[in-house]
Amino acid sequence: MGGQAFAHIVSDTLINVPRMLPDTYYQVASDVRLKLETLFYHVTIPRVAPGKSDFGDIDLIVEGIRDPTNNKNIWATVQDVLGAELYVHPHHFGIKHPTSPDAYVQVDVELSPGSDTKHGAELFEWTKFMKSDSDLLQIVGVVHRSLGITCNDKGMHIRVEEVEPYNRKKSMLLLTRDPDQAMDFYGYDKAKYYQGFDSETELFEWATNGRYFYWKVYEDREENSNDRSRINKRAMFRRFVYEYMPSCGKGTTTSSHVEDDESETKKAVPSRQEVLRDALLMFDRQKEYNAIVLEHETQGVEEAIWLQVNNSIPSGNAARGTILKGLKRWVAFEDGRPYITEQPISTSTKLKWSKHVSNDTLQEILSWIAENQEQIGKLEEERANEARKAAMKR
């Protein structure tokens, strides 16, 4: 929160949370960590970004509550142990500033995902990796996103391309939660990472010196709303996008991995399929991948078709829900062509459109739906009204 968690609190006096110089930050951080270690098995402070000259707050990650009876009241216990006079749900604490009597230090305590589960310890190490060096892992994610690699709070994943358009969550195949294994896969210099970065430029160079980094992969990515939000809110990410990457891509930076334009054109561009093959081999995930593809072929194709059908009916259409129900109850197929049945199809029949609709015929089917949706909606509305009348008579 950058020291802003208490800005909205109504108080007779100003709640002063000044930015801290490094000496104050490290002094308070060490004291807070020792106190939290009495409550949690694992406590860490993610590594700060290189060149940071002052700090708005102190961020800590914790995992494994020592006293299970404290689970429900853990944040009240944390407040008591820290001697925090201020608290904002869920995990923002305000403790007295060590040198300024009328000021506070904001302490943010985050419970690691999976705390107190069998995966708690490894998720703790992964979360520490994800949150270290400020925006580093967000940068790593952006420069590899178009290749199907995603890092989130659950670990590093490869996205199955066929499934992603209709169900991003199901498309995620977990590869690892081990930071070392993740860096090995990306082809990063682990020794340099653990040594730490002396400057922001050094960090940017490390992030763009992986096995799969290629300027065109980054340049051709689709910018999404998350990217725009990061650019607005995250200064390091903004400098990476607007200052570092343009020079990196044009070969005007001193980074050792940048080649001249002629070499760049000769360099093989990594493909998503190539990265997928490498991932399945390195992490031995072929069996899990096959299971996702099989589900896609048996159930996922049906989901994908209905996603297209749903999207083809404007959300502003008041009869949209009725039309969608009608499509499942009044439409059948003959030789791949849809037609409106004389009687409603029983819900127990569960007609699968994926047996009759292919990628080649989908647009033709959608056009047919657009032409016939009003009639289908009326049929379904009449059927529903008759069903309600019959139920009332009983």
Would you give per-residue pLDDT tens digits along the chain (394 residues)?
Answer: 566 888 888 777 788 999 999 999 999 999 999 999 999 999 999 999 998 999 999 999 999 999 988 888 999 999 999 999 999 998 999 999 999 989 999 999 999 999 999 999 999 999 999 999 999 999 999 889 989 999 999 999 999 999 998 899 999 999 999 999 999 999 999 999 999 999 999 999 999 999 998 876 666 666 777 778 888 888 899 999 889 988 775 443 444 444 444 444 445 678 999 999 999 999 999 999 999 999 988 888 898 899 999 999 998 899 999 999 999 999 999 999 999 999 999 877 789 899 999 889 999 999 999 999 999 999 999 999 999 988 887 7
CB-CB neighbours of 333 under 10 Å: 16
The pTM of the full predicted model, rounded to 2 decimals, is 0.79
Q: Distance between CA atoms of 60 and 108, rounded to whole angstroms?
A: 6
Q: How many Å separate Cα 302 from the centre of its chain?
A: 25
Fold (topology level) of 22-122: Beta Polymerase; domain 2 (3.30.460)
Tokens of 84: 């925090």
Q: Is 381 helix (H, G, I), strand (E, B) or coil?
A: helix
Tokens of 245: 């990457």
What residue ranges do the domains of the chain occupy?
22-122, 134-287, 313-393
DSSP-derived letter for residue 244 is I
